[in-house]
Amino acid sequence: MSIFEQLKKYKYIIPIITNADRDVKRIILKSFRLKKKFFYPQGEYKADVKNLINCMLCLKMCRFDCNSLQGAKTERVAPAYKSLIGYYLSVGKIDPSKEENKDFINLMYECCNCENCKIWCPFDFSVVSLLETVRDDINDKGLTPNYIKEQIEKLNKTHTIEDTNIFKTYEEKVIANVESDGNDDVFYYIGCETMKYPEVVKGNIEILKKAGIKFSTNLDKRWCCGAPLFNTRHLDLAKEYAKQNIDLITGSGAKLVVTDCPGCADTLLNRYEKIGFKSKVKVIHILQLFKQLIEENKLILKNQIPEEFKNVVYHDPCLMSRNLNVISEPREVLKKIPGLNLLEPICNEKYTHCCGYSGTLHWANNDLAVKISQNRVNELIETGANIIVTACPLCELGLEKGIEENNKKKIKIIDLTELIAKVI
Amino acid sequence: MTLEKFDLIYKDNRCKIKDKEKILSKLKAILGEENVSTKEIDLIAYSKDSTLITLIWRIQGKLAALPDFITWPENNDQIVQTLKLANEEKIPVIPYGEGSGVVGGAIPVYGGIIIDMKKFNKVLEINDKDLTVTVQTGINGMNLERYLNAKGYTCGHIPQSIYMSSVGGWIAHRAAGQFSTKYGKIEDIVLGLEVILPQGEIIELKTIIRAATGPQFDKLFIGGEGTLGIVTKATLKIWPSPEKRELISFAFPTIEDSLEAIRNILRNQIYPAVIRIYDASETVRHFPQVKEAKDKVMAVFVCEGNERLVNLEGIITREKCEDNNGVNCGEEPVEHWFETRFRVTETSLIPPYKIVIDTIEVSVMWEHAAELYHLVLDSVKKVKGILYITAHASHFYPNGVGFYFSFAGVATGGKSNFEFYQECWDVIMDGCVKAGGSIAHHHGIGINRARWMEKEWGKALRSLIDIKNLLDPNNILNPGKTYFPPEKGGAK
Ligand SMILES: Cc1cc2nc3c(=O)[nH]c(=O)nc-3n(C[C@H](O)[C@H](O)[C@H](O)COP(=O)(O)OP(=O)(O)OC[C@H]3O[C@@H](n4cnc5c(N)ncnc54)[C@H](O)[C@@H]3O)c2cc1C
Ligand code: SF4
Ligand code: SF4
């Protein structure tokens, strides 16, 4: 709600207070004056206390759609409760430095980046964003949990969140690296996680080549986009990543960045800007390009889809549908695949549910991430589909963990690129 | 211990558990390691429901009450065994749905074992011919409605809290949805139940449309407030999604005019799904943009269902409003209501200023409807510290109406917030009883109204308590509520 809307909404209160009797007025004015003294932390802090309070006192309209709550089925991870604990940690009601309070600190990381709460919130809050401000204070106090520190160490060592720089594994995965000559049209920005799915990377490269696009991948010089640094609130380090990535892209001469990972797209587009970096080059998800190529007849989907890949349900990655607003493009591509039967789950498009693996949750509580994933897989296969198709490597990774044992043979999770590759 | 830093509001008469470790290991044996917790982070999470006074406590770092064990059963047997253990050890058991209750029903006033029903969340069957859905009662209301909508149905039960309440909570408190004039309250919607009695016996009250098989036993558990049994399964009526919706609104010069219009609509057997009237103070709050409604009583209607019927309902609704001095305000106010009906922000913004707020709903037959409204307003205005008292009515019947009062104020003259809060409650309850109303329309009794039960029930309360004692001789199921206020009882 904008300030203007808020003022309009609460205008009715003014005459009520002016007409109240003296005693009442005095008490209210005192509370107004002393609100900060009563309820805000002393000293320096970064936590967004005002909005943590708003959220923790809210009657929680978002809870039915909160992925961590619906996965865990316990009040502990309910959105407003996470804010309440964030508040108690901020004002010192719960002492964050005590070993016995580790659970409370941990809770600040038990959110995926799904932001389903934001859809329903009367304040437009995303709880994970509120919690990030508490994480700032946790870092400043030197209380960062070990599982977060480990990720930072890996990033410092390999520039990815893997034990080795995963981009450099291209040779063993038989992925063709395309060095830039400084004169490219397109930079194909491969996600760290996509490197775990060589077929997807290879498929994308093949499609780009077939369409006659001049592009590079520069895998020898690649770093992670830095998304984990934003989630864990290591923003100074994130600046180094932003600079490195923007320089690399700019150096390629490309006018367009296409990426296979919605997380990378969101980081390059939106998160860099928040720390003062803005890429001048346009960034899109690779499917947006494919849709255009199909329309221009530069990519022709000519073959019938094999029978076993016919019944498909599309899983909207949270970041893709909500942050990037890429909803129709993947569907339009899917509908152009000859013989494919596209099914839709109950919660789709902007209302999609999380795969469980975004944000810090899977480090803080992997069991819960798996449960969220199971919930989503069950929603997806309730449609009758045996193929779950998505457009995000992290979703693919997450959803794979959610397939229950008895379904492992029946259900396949693949990237949309792999489907395209089957029909060109 | 972090918990020691939190003041407890309900701290007297807590149950004494001699060997907590022993109980914990027994609970773990029953429910499995992952379905039991005594961690502080969980105990704090289940120390509250949505009773509005608890919001002030929350920001002050006080806890309403403190449970001893939290459990998340996955099947009936685990509940049965937990109840048996609780009876042996005389430990209170508190069923917990989504914690949206606003009368303290799920607050563990004497401590004990919380049974959180969230894992009972499956839709078991939709029967299209019978128009029923059978569910496990821990299912969240919106997740059920969303599922039904996707299949082309609605339950027609849309409380404002649908996003954050469970079917079990609806049944426990005899909830009412915004569309109640057409689809009924939850007691009109439930056709069958499975209940686990306090001593662990599972009973099924089978799904029937109507019967003459003795007293309606199922009614005992609809409104049972988690004190007579734990409802595990329910069969509810559903309807095909409506074909047409018509949105109507009128502004009336007085509350009496608006009540008369609606009484006459219903007398003609016209049932708009939604009927809501807002007194002049609420009209400025909710419809500041509607010029025709300035200083008036706003009424909004939604007619829905078969197109031809809806058309006719629209005609008669308008006619009766016009006959009673209503001024047609068109569709916009209803669209505005649809957009804003779940967007509650006051509960976040007001408590940090130490302003006490709450809402209280009551019901009354038509004869005394206007009288009750004025009596309550007049008497609350006399309470020292009161800032405002306003009302709307959102549940109407051919024979009467449910009013919904909202108040705000501050504790003056050395009173605590809680004392001021209870005083406001008492004044409203008193006005309601004096005007011949019933003290609760759909939020239930819980803690807040328990001290008014004798006035409401008269001698019949004795028989009700006898039934409670018969079913729950050790008084383990949700004690300290409904029949007596917390201070009158205690855990054995
Ligand atoms: C903003 C807001 C709006 C609201 N709007 C409405 C409204 O429009 N209409 C309305 O009727 N109410 C409304 N309420 C009140 C509240 O949502 C209802 O009372 C609801 O039915 C409670 O459900 P719950 O699952 O949250 O129950 P809880 O708060 O968890 O529990 C309520 C009671 O039910 C018992 N209980 C829970 N599950 C079971 C079970 N399976 N078996 C036996 N007992 C059980 C508990 O022990 C407790 O006594 C509103 C509340 C809020 C905060
Ligand atoms: S995110 Fe918004 S809707 Fe959800 S609990 Fe917080 S304030 Fe309420
Ligand atoms: S960001 Fe996602 S997991 Fe976190 S509170 Fe919001 S909906 Fe729940």
pLDDT tops 90 at residue B293: yes
The verdict on a CB contact (< 8 Å) between B347 and A57 is: yes
Considering the domain delimited by B2-117+471-488, tell me its CATH architecture.
2-Layer Sandwich (3.30)
Tell whether ligand 2 has an atom less than 6 A from the beta carbon of residue A82: no
B123-240 — its CATH code? Answer: 3.30.465.10
pLDDT tops 80 at residue A8: no
Q: Which residues of A touch B97 (CB under 8 A)?
A: none
CA distances in angstroms from B141 to A113, B27, B70, B158, listed in the order given: 24, 29, 22, 8
Tell whether ligand 2 has an atom less than 6 A from the beta carbon of residue A119: no
Which of A114, A323, A368 has most ligand 3 atoms within 8 Å of CB, for mutation? A114
Q: Which residues of B touch A62 (CB under 8 A)?
A: 163
When pLDDT is cut at 50, 70 and 90, the band that residue B41 belongs to is: very high
Assess A94–B contact: CB distance below 8 Å, yes or no.
yes
Fold of B244-340: Alpha-Beta Plaits (3.30.70)
Tell whether ligand 2 has an atom less than 6 A from the beta carbon of residue A111: no
Q: Which residue in chain A has the smallest CA separation from B37?
A: A74
Report the distance separating Cα B413 and Cα B460, nearest Å: 39
Q: What share of chain A is helix, strand, coil (3-state, %, to 5)?
A: 55, 5, 40
List all residues whose CB is within 6 A of at least one atom of ligand 3: A 66-68, 79, 111-112, 114-117, 126-128
B346-448 — its CATH code? Answer: 3.30.300.330
Q: Which residue in chain A has the smallest CA separation from B61?
A: A93
Average pLDDT over residues A63-90: 98
pLDDT tens digits along B102-125: 999 999 999 999 999 999 999 999
Q: Give the three-state DSSP class for B300.
A: strand
Q: Which residues of B touch A8 (CB under 8 A)?
A: 288
Which of B103, B120, B135, B165 has most ligand 1 atoms within 8 Å of CB, for mutation? B165
Non-local (6+) Cβ contacts of B414 within 8 A are none
pLDDT tens digits along A332-361: 999 999 999 999 999 999 999 999 999 999
Strand ordering across the sheet containing A282-285:
A215-216, A186-189, A256-259, A282-285
Q: Give the three-state DSSP class for A172.
A: coil
CB environment B34-60: b (16+ within 10 A), e (fewer): ebbbeebbbbbbbbbbbbbbbbbbbbe
Assess B61–A contact: CB distance below 8 Å, yes or no.
yes
The per-residue pLDDT for B33 is: 97
Model pTM? Answer: 0.97
Assess B342–A contact: CB distance below 8 Å, yes or no.
yes
Assess B288–A contact: CB distance below 8 Å, yes or no.
yes
The per-residue pLDDT for A9 is: 72
The verdict on a CB contact (< 8 Å) between A74 and B5 is: no
Domain residue ranges in chain B: 2-117+471-488, 123-240, 244-340, 346-448
Residue B204 pairs with which residues in a beta bridge? Answer: B194
Closest residue to atom 8 of ligand 3, CA basis: A66
Q: Which residues of A touch B5 (CB under 8 A)?
A: 93-94
When pLDDT is cut at 50, 70 and 90, the band that residue A4 belongs to is: low
Non-local (6+) Cβ contacts of A24 within 8 A are B385, B386, B387, B409, B410, B412
Average pLDDT over residues B267-277: 98
The per-residue pLDDT for A13 is: 83
Report the distance separating Cα A140 and Cα B263, nearest Å: 64
Report the distance separating Cα A214 and Cα A209, nearest Å: 8
Q: Which residues of A touch B353 (CB under 8 A)?
A: 28, 31-32, 35
Closest residue to atom 8 of ligand 2, CA basis: A60
Which pairs count as long-range contacts for A148-153, CB under 8 Å and 24+ apart, including other chains?
A: A148/A109, A148/A232, A148/A360, A148/A363, A151/A228, A151/A232, A151/A363, A152/A229, A152/A232, A152/A234, A152/A237
Q: Best residue in A74, A84, A379 to probe B by mutation, most B CBs within 10 Å?
A: A74
Tell whether ligand 2 has an atom less than 6 A from the beta carbon of residue A125: yes
Q: For chain A, list the domains and their CATH numbers.
A: 1-34 (no CATH), 40-144 (1.10.1060), 169-294 (3.40.50), 301-423 (3.40.50.1860)
Residue A157 CB neighbours (<10 A): 12
